[in-house]
């Protein structure tokens, strides 16, 4: 009999954790598991589940927060009773809470995963007290907890660490071939337009670079609430012809495969999917050595990419200038970076999930 796996996902829209869960669900469905995914938020879908995955979209009659909270827990619990899955998997703090609460007294195996900074919302703000209290109460009820990095795991007490493991993100199996032609004079970045991504630092550093290399452009892909603020910074620095915000695109790697440089400027990050894929595409990459330690886990400084201190505009400027002005160095980084394709291959990473399932 096929093993039944139930995933609880926030949505199928744009986020890195949603993408990893979709990749994992599709892989398991293709490899003999009976897979169902509950989708908690009813949003536009940018990730595709394959036809073997049964998806259940939750909907709500009104927008009252308490009603939605109750309804989510009630519906997830109802579906668990109907499907009787062997294992239930959820990603991200709030979804983990809903999942654990829904499983109380059902005697089901529950695996949860933290995907971002365990302690902070942004660089200046700690997680609210109620979140920290709920974690202390609910997380010990999970059977396993999956972290992306050693740092994330170390933020929790020993009783949590003892039932946890570290599994990095997989690299998409659908990446284009590595680009081998002359790279365009374009610097690219991608991610949610929010505080922790610190795209304002990237724009400020690019401003300094553009004074020297006037023919380079910066393209930042993604959407989020900081778009207006970032556009104001662009205007203030008179970069409106050189800095572009195309929004979210579903063929990102195809669009950026011939870029000169990829930059991840985050103040904190789990493991960035776009960073992994940029490296796998051989795009010379610069990343902040920020918590939760995902970049440092993947990048050997000045070997397959460049690591810089988080929040350091000068270091980012100098790293971009080095790549632009030393093409031999940039090419050596590119050759080494492609090797992450094997290390983080989707089958290798998903088999690690199967081991704990």
Cβ neighbours of residue 35 closer than 8 Å, sequence gap 6 or more: 4, 5, 6, 7, 25, 28, 29, 52, 53, 54
The dihedral through the CA atoms of 351, 353, 355, 357 has a sign that is negative
CA distances, 189 to each of 139, 243, 301 (Å): 34, 11, 19
User: Domain residue spans in the chain?
Assistant: 4-166, 184-343
Does domain 184-343 fall into CATH 3.40.630.10?
no
CA distances, 71 to each of 22, 90, 181, 276 (Å): 24, 17, 53, 37
Domains 4-166 and 184-343 share a fold: yes
DSSP state letters, 198-230: -HHHHHHHHHHHHHH-TT-EEEEE---TTHHHH
Q: Based on C-alpha coordinates, what's the Rg of the chain?
A: 21
Give residue 91's pLDDT: 96
Give residue 316's pLDDT: 98
Give residue 121's pLDDT: 74
Mean pLDDT by 10 residues, the chain (357 residues): 93 89 96 97 90 95 90 96 97 96 96 88 80 95 96 94 96 87 96 94 98 98 96 98 95 95 94 94 97 93 97 98 97 96 94 96
Closest CA relative to residue 76, chosen from 48, 60, 100: 100
Give residue 243's pLDDT: 98
Give residue 194's pLDDT: 92
Give residue 107's pLDDT: 94
Give residue 16's pLDDT: 87
Residue 70 CA to residue 346 CA, distance in Å, equals 36
Give residue 118's pLDDT: 85
Domain topology for 4-166: Rossmann fold (3.40.50)
Question: In the 8-state DSSP scheme, what is residue 192?
Answer: -
CA distances, 50 to each of 47, 103, 347 (Å): 10, 26, 16
Give residue 161's pLDDT: 96
């Amino acid at each position: 009999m096929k093993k039944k796996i139930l995933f609880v996902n926030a949505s199928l829209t744009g986020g890195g954790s949603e993408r990893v869960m979709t990749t994992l669900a599709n892989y398991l469905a293709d490899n003999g598991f009976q897979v169902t995914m509950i989708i908690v938020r009813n949003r536009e879908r940018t990730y595709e589940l394959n036809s073997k995955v049964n998806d259940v979209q939750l909907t709500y009659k009104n927008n009252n927060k308490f009603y939605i909270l109750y309804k989510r827990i009630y519906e997830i619990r109802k579906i668990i009773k109907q499907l009787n899955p062997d294992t239930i998997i959820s990603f991200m703090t709030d979804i983990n809470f809903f999942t654990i609460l829904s499983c109380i007294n059902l005697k089901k195996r529950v695996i949860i995963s933290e995907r971002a900074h365990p302690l902070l919302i942004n660089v200046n703000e700690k997680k609210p007290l109620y979140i920290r209290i709920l974690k202390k109460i609910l997380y010990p009820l999970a059977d396993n907890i999956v972290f992306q990095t050693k740092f994330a795991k170390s933020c929790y007490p020993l009783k949590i660490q003892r039932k946890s493991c570290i599994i990095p993100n997989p690299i998409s199996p659908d990446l284009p071939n590595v680009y081998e032609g002359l790279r365009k004079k374009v610097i690219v970045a991608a991610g949610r337009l929010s505080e922790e991504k610190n795209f304002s630092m990237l724009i400020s550093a690019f401003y300094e670079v553009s004074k020297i290399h006037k023919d380079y452009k910066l393209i930042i892909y993604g959407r989020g609430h900081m778009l207006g603020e970032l556009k104001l910074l662009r205007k203030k620095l008179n970069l409106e012809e050189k800095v572009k915000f195309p929004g979210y695109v579903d063929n990102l790697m195809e669009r950026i495969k011939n870029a000169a440089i990829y930059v991840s400027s985050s103040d904190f990050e789990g493991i960035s999917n776009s960073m992994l894929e940029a490296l796998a595409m051989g795009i010379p990459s610069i990343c902040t050595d920020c918590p939760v330690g995902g970049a440092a886990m993947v990048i050997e400084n000045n070997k397959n990419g460049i690591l810089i201190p988080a929040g350091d505009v000068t270091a980012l400027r100098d790293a971009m200038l080095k790549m632009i002005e030393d093409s031999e160095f940039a090419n050596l980084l590119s050759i080494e970076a492609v090797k992450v394709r094997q290390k983080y291959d989707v089958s290798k990473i998903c088999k690690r999930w199967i081991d704990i399932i």
